Structure 1
């Protein structure tokens, strides 16, 4: 399912093209007809993400909550840009002082490969009348003959302005809430590095990890412990920390947990800016280009079961942990 960086990018896309606009809401599929009727004709006033949850606020304090789950995706069309992130001289969003990947400004965008689970690094710039998919399986664009195009497939919810349209397909959750209900959802979540104060979030994660004897490989996927981490980031964070995923949270030194939070804050910032889960640092120019084009060159251990570890040569192990695939190096992560 989409991890935290994708949901933050979707929130930014709505902020850029829908906030402040009067929205026509509908449910072409019909399953969200009542909720769409409540939102139809209202102005979107805010868009924000918390972990894997998206909250779109409308006037009179009504919210659309969306959790994409495994199969959900948003398709954007109309006058929308490929990159919702506004670059500034302030540096990378979420930057923590660690060395990251270089900008994609010089990448050969048309040749970029769109990998599963990730958004494309395709050409970012001038708005165009195109369909932009942001979600689990792919991010693709296609030129549209007219705007708005007819809904394609099972569209749960359609949000339309005079210049942009967003179609939602296959979400796990799609519901209209009031402010109190939204707060209840947020209160159940662990800290999100792009939402919570960095120091406060670090303390919250530290307390929630070290009070439990559950393996850290499971705790990082628990959205009540820390928000936004999925299978990819879980595997990569643990490898970068050289942590055995079976180590109980309560057994971890305080500084190790703090470093996990800081690294997650850094990687999430990279993911929001680039649209890809780039988890390998220190790459030369050619290696960076390969990483931007192919997931096989982007990660330390994720999806590399049976292949030699990039550090020690030991074969990467794949096992099931709470019915989810867990990748790790049994030598480096002892």
Structure 2
């Protein structure tokens, strides 16, 4: 009995000698774990801010420098903040930052993830294209050739320089029997055009027009618009006031049109996310959003960052949407096929 008791006591003493280092190691691991969660609080807050900019973009006011519209213009690019913060979080070994990054990543995918699936399909009975050709275009004939070879039945051109109009007319005459130039915009069509007129978008000169195109599938009201340019200035912010007023005027003209099938082509100097274009976008569908593949960015041509050139429809089904090869312009031409 005494022998056994002494043996048990000896064993307990041995366990006590070894338990000390184990407990210390455990506390060391816990201390290190707490460090992982304590680090990166600022990064986590940045991730939350990034999420808020995406989720509540429509609530950012335009009263100061049109910040809301500026954010919405480049809204997809906020997603770049996720990998940047991810790299910093890994370097900092911050579990808090990495978990917080799930928020902007998931919300970005919720908003834009659907654009990465190809929504185009076969069919359609009318192909249209639009291109801001750039007044300084050094190769109007080559630019016109790209558009003619696209297979488009209707082509809209913006920023036409008066001295270059004959070059475009000559280059496109073999493919398009009908055309009209109003101010700095022009429309070319394989099908008859009637009721062609300029549209007042409150600019003081003509940068928008409208025509009824009689296609084999029926009459379509085709609008062509080039809204005023916008700028980002340090002392004024996002200067888009004139563009916004022109968008309202264009939206009113489309809403009053007697035809129920409408196509809008042109350079709107704004994206579908920009709430300031609501007068137009609220009543029309973007062919890129409905039947495209990817973002379809069109400007600037050298490194496209925004889809400011648009093809939108009303009472017509989009079938496919794509960008055309680069020309001598600073914009990419875009095209779409629709079902009337």
| Fold match by TM threshold 0.5 | no
TM-score of the superposition, structure 1-length normalised?
A: 0.24
Larger Rg: 2
Per chain length, whose mean CA-contact separation is higher, i.e. which structure has more relative contact order (CA < 8 Å, sep 6+)? 1
